[in-house]
Structure 1
Amino acid sequence: MDGAPLDARTALLRADCASCTGLCCVVPAFAASADFAIDKPAGTPCPHLALDSRCRIHDELPQRGFPGCTAFDCLGAGQRVTARFAPRSWRDAPDEVAAAFEEARGLHELLWYVADALARPLPVELRVGLATTYAALDAAVDAGEPAGPWFPRVDPLLRRASDAVRTAWPAARQLRRADLAGADLRGADLRGADLRGALLLGADLTGARLADADLVGADLRGARLAGADLRGALFLTPVQVAAAVGDARTLLPEHLARPGRWRG
């Protein structure tokens, strides 16, 4: 299904590869592994990047040994940095563009979280603070500010929003930073759970319910989500969804697209 925006704010948080110069294929480094077939240093274009800034093997990335690429999402930072530097590109100013892309992606991640929070029923004072922060983050992207100092400034607001949403689940499980790698969580009731920073690598969440669960920083790589209900999950990102393994029965929030490789 196509991802519907949380509201107008998320329009700029959707990757538009047609408006980008392939920054995700140039800026990040990756090492030969199960996720990438080759080593690629940071700032070096992938050999599969064509002159028109398109991936030559985009439709067969997993089969060609690049499943890690399918789990990457710049959250709209790529096209925004491309537009800021136009008509120059990473070919003209590689270090400058690379640094801008990395910072913009961090800020866009925060924008995603704040936009998610603003879509929730929250106290007026908290909503005002979040809306003000969203506007400041948006301006910070245009100004090329570093993302690092913003995380400790935004996190308290996100925690307050999470607490406000999860009060509906007083018996919710507290699993912050829990090591649940490979855990059998089939059918688990995780509604309203605090799963911030939890390691869910390869966990079996088949049929689990995660409404209002706080998933900031949760590692969902290889997590099995067949038939799981993630509608309403807090701060779930496209990157987390793409890294997991779901199926046709997996229920996602409206604003998140179902990965094409999820079948059955």
Structure 2
Amino acid sequence: MTTKYTNKDNIPKHLSSDCENCFGLCCVALPYAKSADFAFNKDGGVPCQNLQTNYLCSIHNDLRTKGFRGCTAYECFGAGQKVSQLTYQGNDWRNNSILAKEMFAVFPIIQQLHEMLMYIHEALTLGAAKAIHADLKEAFEKTERLTLQSPEFILQINVPDHRTSVNRLLLHTSELVRADYRNKKQPKKVGPGSDLIGAKLKGADLKGANLRGALLIAADLRQADLRMADLIGADFRDADLSGANLTNSIFLTQAQVNAAKGNQNTKLPPSLKMPLHWKDID
């Protein structure tokens, strides 16, 4: 598959979820436990009771109000339709229990590889990372090839090892992008993987910050400046982004935004949309 690396605002179609061409894999393959994010327990390999025969969700427009906030904060990055239509050539898991078990094991592997593809693609659109674009393209093509293999091959992929090699390039990209924007006066507690649960960061200057994997659950980020910040893997569940500026932040996904709170004054990268539930927040 040939991918054209355009600007950051254009997400390749095959890296965006297409539920109409998927067998509802995320609604079947993945387990979840009853919590604030899910209304009931579900084992992996068991169809969610909200999954219809056409593989679409019966409460898709009301997931948050029905107790399924976790579903709105999940993204397969196009893995669902690839596994359904390409890896298994349109063969339905409902018709073959052996095939179903294998498909449900293949799906999360492809999801992880597609997530990597999404980040690499974004890195390739960033001018500051031009010096390593050749390496990024090679990583993209290698990752893409892995997703096009047989189920037997895919199940043998060492995903952690591959993620490590990809992550080196993403870290280098992050350093290059943030080099001219890092604020030395940022709070000392702010950093990669930092525990910022419930942190009071209203109006904070976090421009160019490295917040990779940071726990920002329920953090107050109102009017915070997050431009050029590396937000890969940051947990924004219930974080208040009202009025925050995330313009040109890097490696931010729609799923992360969906998990947060915000309003019409929140500035998002053009490729991301304001979640519907933000309209109900002052």
Give the TM-score range, shorter chain: over 0.9
**Residue of structure 1 in register with 2:69 after alignment:** 67
**Residue of structure 2 in register with 1:227 after alignment:** 243
Question: Is the Cα–Cα contact under 8 Å of residues 89 and 97 in structure 1 kept in the other structure?
Answer: no
The amino acid that maps onto 1:16 is D
Alignment of 1:58-207 (within 5 A): 58-84=60-86, 85-91=88-94, 92=96, 93-143=99-149, 145=154, 146=157, 147-172=159-184, 173=186, 175-207=191-223
Q: Percent identity?
A: 40
Question: How far apart, CA to CA, are the structure 1 residues paired with 2:110 and 2:142?
Answer: 13
Question: How far apart, CA to CA, are the structure 1 residues paired with 2:217 and 2:29?
Answer: 26
**Residue of structure 1 in register with 2:12 after alignment:** 10
* Ranges in structure 1 where 5+ consecutive residues have no aligned partner: none
Q: 1:60 offset after TM fit, Å? A: 1.4
**Residue of structure 2 in register with 1:24 after alignment:** 26
Question: How far apart, CA to CA, are the structure 2 residues paired with 1:118 and 1:125?
Answer: 10
Q: After TM superposition, what 4+ stretches of structure 1 lie above 4 angstroms from structure 2?
A: none
Q: What RMSD, in angstroms, separates the aligned Cα atoms of the two structures?
A: 1.7
Distance 1:141 1:9, change over 3 A: farther
Question: How far apart, CA to CA, are the structure 2 residues paired with 1:142 and 1:256?
Answer: 27
The amino acid that maps onto 2:178 is R
TM-score (norm 1): 0.93
Identify the match of residue 226 of structure 2 among 210, 216, 233.
Answer: 210
The amino acid that maps onto 1:83 is Q
Q: 1:68 offset after TM fit, Å? A: 1.2
Deviations 1:203-233 (A, max 9, x none): 0100111111111221111110001111111
The amino acid that maps onto 1:134 is F
Question: How far apart, CA to CA, are the structure 2 residues paired with 1:178 and 1:8?
Answer: 30
Looking at both structures, which has the greater relative contact order when contacts are Cα pairs under 8 Å and sequence separation is at least 6?
A: 1
Question: How far apart, CA to CA, are the structure 1 residues paired with 2:276 and 2:82?
Answer: 25
Question: Is the Cα–Cα contact under 8 Å of residues 223 and 244 in structure 1 kept in the other structure?
Answer: yes
Question: How far apart, CA to CA, are the structure 1 residues paired with 2:85 and 2:126?
Answer: 31
Q: 1:5 offset after TM fit, Å? A: 7.0
* Ranges in structure 2 where 5+ consecutive residues have no aligned partner: 1-5
Question: Is the Cα–Cα contact under 8 Å of residues 5 and 255 in structure 1 kept in the other structure?
Answer: no
